Chains A and B, each alone.
Chain A
Amino acid sequence: MAYVAVKGGERAIDAAHAWLAAARRGDGAIVELQTAQIREQLGRAVDRVMAEGSLYDPELAALAIKQSQGDLIEAGFLLRAFRTTLPRLAATLPLDTATMRLTRRISAIFKDLPGGQVLGPTYDYTHRLLDFALLENAPVAPAPQAEAIAGPTPRVADILGHEGLLEADARSEDEPFDLTRAPLAFPAGRDARLQGLARGDEGFLLGLGYSTQRGYGNNHPFVGELRAGEVDVEIVPAELGFAVCIGTVTLTECQMVNQFAGSKTEPAQFTRGYGLAFGHADRRAMAMALVDRALRAEELGEARTAPAQDPQFVLSTCDNVEATGFVEHLKLPHYVDFQSELETIRRLRATAERTQAASLPEAAP
C-alpha cells in the first residue's frame, strides 16, 4: 500500500544522516580538510560565521564551516546553538576601539589625518582576475613590513566631535539590552537595534543599506572612518577590583557620517550610523552603519517611508537563523492544513456551482 512509504521515519533519518556524513567527506582520495586550514585560509568565512553566530571563536567557527560543508548560514546556526548552552561568567568592559592595533584604517572624508590612512590587507584595489597561480599552490612571497604607526590614531568621530560638527555619542550607564536573553519588543532602543544588526544576515543588511542609497530612505552617507584591527577585551573581576585583559578580538568598525539639516532646537550637524563586526568585514560593518542610521529616522524627526527605516521590519527579518528556519519549515509536512483547505475549496466550489445552476433557467430564453 502506498501509505507505507511515509512510515519508517526513524530509519529514514538515520540513513539520511549517514549519507550526509559521506557526502560531506566527499572523495576519500582527496586529503581531508583540517579545521586549521579553514581558520587560516578561509578567514573571511570564519569572520562572517562568528558575526552571525554571535560567538567569537575562530576555531569553533572553522569547525562549523567544515560540518556544514561551507553553508555559512548553517554554520552560524551551529555556532548559535552551541553558544546558547554556554554559562555567562562575566561581562566585559566596553571595548575601546580608539586603542585598536590597526591593520586597516581609512577615512573617505579627509585626505589625511593623524595616524594616516592604512589600506591593510584589502581586496579593494585588486583586479578581479582569477589567479591561476593559486591552482598550483605556489609559495607566497612575504609582504613588506612598514614601521608601526607612531603616535595616536584618534577616531575620526572624535576629531569631528571636537568642533561640535558631529553629534556626540549618547552616554548611558544603564545595563544594555541583551538580545540573547530578552525578547525584542517594539519600539526597540538603539542598543537592541545595534545588537540585532550586528548578527543580522550580511546579504540582507547589504540589500537594505543599498536600498537607502537607491532612494528608499536616503541619508547622504560618507564613510567617516573604517578601521580594523585587534582590541583588548577586559573584565573587572569582583575579587580584584581592577581591569584584567582576558584576550583580544579582531574587529571592523565603521563610522558613517550623514547629513542632517538640524531642527528648531538643534543646529545643523552631522549624524552618525554605526557598524561593528567581528573580524575583517568592511561590507558588513558599512551596511550595518547605513541601516543603523536609517533606523534612526523617527528619533531624528525624518519621514519614515522606506523599509530600512522600519525597526520592526528590519529587526524581525534580518536574523538569518530565524529566517532560514521559517522559510525551510515549509518543507515539513503540512498535509493536515492542506487537507482542511482542500475541503474548504471543494465546499466553496460546490456552493458556487449550486448558485450557478439555480440561476441558469432564468438566463435561458
Chain B
Amino acid sequence: MKGYNFAYLDEQTKRMLRRTLLKAVAIPGHQIPFGAREMPLPYGWGTGGIQVTAAVLGRADTLKVIDQGADDTTNAVSIRRFFARTAGVATTTRTASATIIQTRHRIPETTLTEAQIIVYQVPQPEPLYQLEPSRTETRRMHALADYGAMHVRLYEQVARYGQIAISYDYPVMVNGRHLMAPSPIPAFDNPKMHRMRALQLFGAGREKRIYAVPPYTAVVSLDFEDHPFRASRAAHVCALCGDRASYLDEVVTDDRGGRMFICSDTDHCASRRESAP
C-alpha cells in the first residue's frame, strides 16, 4: 500500500518484535513485555495478534484469519483485509493451505502441522490477574513458580459446585514451569495446544506482552487427579455436516426455544460437506 511499509509496521519495529518472539520461544509460556505500537485497529480487537503476524509474515505466506472459528465474522474479515491491503499476501479460508493462522477465541479443528504458525489474539495475558491485581506481585509469583493460589481457586470451585467451572481461558501449565492464559479459547480447545506441531504465538497489544509455545511443548490444563480436566462441548450433532466431535455454536432459530447446532469452525464444516457423498 502506498506510503506504508510491507505489512504496515516499519522494519525496525518488526525486528524489535522478532527479538521479543525469540525470547518468548526460548522461555515457553513466559510473558515478555514489548513496546507495542499504536495500530490502526482498536485495542482489544487484535492489535497484539496483528503485530505478531506482521512480524512473522513474509511475501510467500498464505494467511488465514478466524474469529469464533469463522473466517467470515466481521473482525476476521477486517483483519484479513488489513493484511491483504498492507502486505498484498495471499489469503485463504482453508486451514490446511494457510502458513499463518491468526485467531481469536478458537483453535481450528484440523490438526496443524510443523509448517504452520498460529497467532492468538490475547485480551489479558496474565492468568493470575483475578487473584492478584498487582503486576509487581504477579511477576514475583511467576518468578518463584508460586501458583498455589490458582489451585486454591480450583479447589473452591469443586467445593462449591462439585466440579471445576471454568469454561474458557482455562489456565494451563506450559513446559511444567509457567502458568499461562491460553487466551479466551473454550476449554474444549486446550488439549489441542498440548505438543502441538505448529508454533503457537500469543500477542496482547493493550497489555504489551508477547508469549509463545514452541512446537511439541507440553501444555497441561490445571486440574485435580480425582476431578480431571474435561474438554466439554454441546452434546449435539452439527446440523450442517453431521460432525459429532467438533465444537458447536448454538443458533437460535425462532422465539419459541427452537435451536440448532452447527460447527463453530466454518472451514472444517464446509470441507466435510464438500467431501460428503
Q: Looking across the interface, which residue of chain A has its beta carbon closest to that of B184?
A: A337
Which residues of the other chain, B, contact A6 by a CB distance below 8 angstroms? 70, 72-73
**Cβ contacts A336-348/B at 8 Å (1 or 0 each):** 1101111110011
Q: Indicate whether A242 reaches chain B with its CB closer than 8 angstroms.
A: no
A12 to B166 Cα, complex, angstroms: 34
Given A347-B232, A351-B163, residue A81 in contact with residue B135 (CB < 8 A): no
- Asked whether any CB of chain A lies closer than 8 Å to the CB of B248, the reply is yes
Determine if A81 and B40 form an interchain contact, defined as CB atoms under 8 angstroms apart: yes
- Which residue, B47, B134, B167, has most C-beta atoms of chain A within 10 A? B167
- Docked complex Cα distance between A114 and B141 (Å): 55
Do B167 and A337 touch (CB < 8 A)?
yes
CA–CA, A239 to B194, complex, Å? 57
**CB under 8 Å from chain B, chain A span 142-189:** 180-187
Nearest Cβ distance between residue B159 and chain A, in whole angstroms?
13
- Tell whether, in the assembled complex, residue B168 and residue A340 are in contact, meaning their CB atoms are under 8 Å apart: yes
A10 to B65, CA, bound (A): 13
Residues of chain A with a CB closer than 8 A to B187's CB: 340
A13 contacts B69, C-beta separation under 8 Å: no
Contact with B along A341-365 (1 / 0, CB 8 A): 1111001100100010000000000
Residues of A within 8 A of B105 (CB): 334, 336-337
User: Which residues of B have CB within 8 Å of A85?
Assistant: 4, 8, 10
At the interface, is chain A mostly helix, strand, loop or mixed?
Answer: helix
Q: Is the CB of B45 within 8 A of A2?
A: no
Q: Are A183 and B250 in contact (CB under 8 A)?
A: no
Do B68 and A333 have beta carbons less than 8 Å apart? Answer: yes
Among A105-113, A203-211, A322-330, the stretch in contact with B? A322-330
Q: Mark A246-264, 1 if CB is under 8 A from B, else 0.
A: 0000000000000000000
In the assembled complex, B42 has its CB within 8 A of some CB on chain A? yes
Whether the Cβ atoms of B136 and A187 lie closer than 8 Å is yes
Contact between A339 and B186, CB atoms less than 8 A apart: yes
A332 close to chain B: CB less than 8 A: yes
User: Is B155 an interface residue, CB under 8 A from the partner?
Assistant: no
On whether A81 and B251 interact (CB within 8 A), knowing A329-B123, A337-B168, A340-B186, the answer reads: no
B176 touches A (CB below 8 Å): no
Partner of A344, one of B169, B206, B232: B232
Interface contact A342-B250, CB-CB below 8 Å: yes
* A181: nearest chain-B partner, CB-CB: B35
Residues of A within 8 A of B4 (CB): 85
Contact A183 B208 (CB under 8 A): yes
Name the CB-closest residue of A to B45.
Answer: A329
Interface residues of A in 51-100 (CB under 8 A from B): 77, 80-81, 83-85, 87
Question: Are B167 and A81 interface neighbours, CB within 8 A?
Answer: no
When chains A and B are docked, how far (Å) is the Cα of A84 from the Cα of B250? 41
How many Å from the CB of B28 to the closest CB on chain A?
Answer: 20
Structural contact, B167 and A8, CB atoms closer than 8 A: no
Contact of A186 with B136 in the complex, beta carbons under 8 Å: yes
Assess A9 versus B44: contact at CB under 8 Å? Given A312-B134, A339-B248, A347-B163.
no
- A residues near B38, Cβ cutoff 8 Å: 80-81, 83-84, 180, 321
Query: Is A125 located at the chain interface by the 8 A CB criterion?
Result: no
Does any Cβ of A come within 8 Å of B67's Cβ? Answer: yes
Specify which chain B residues have a CB less than 8 angstroms from the CB of A84 in the assembled complex: 37-39
Q: Which of B42, B76, B81, B168 contacts A341 (CB 8 A)?
A: B168
Q: A183-B34, A344-B167 are in contact. List 8 more A-B contacts (CB 8 A).
A: A3-B262, A9-B72, A87-B10, A182-B35, A329-B43, A337-B184, A339-B247, A343-B167
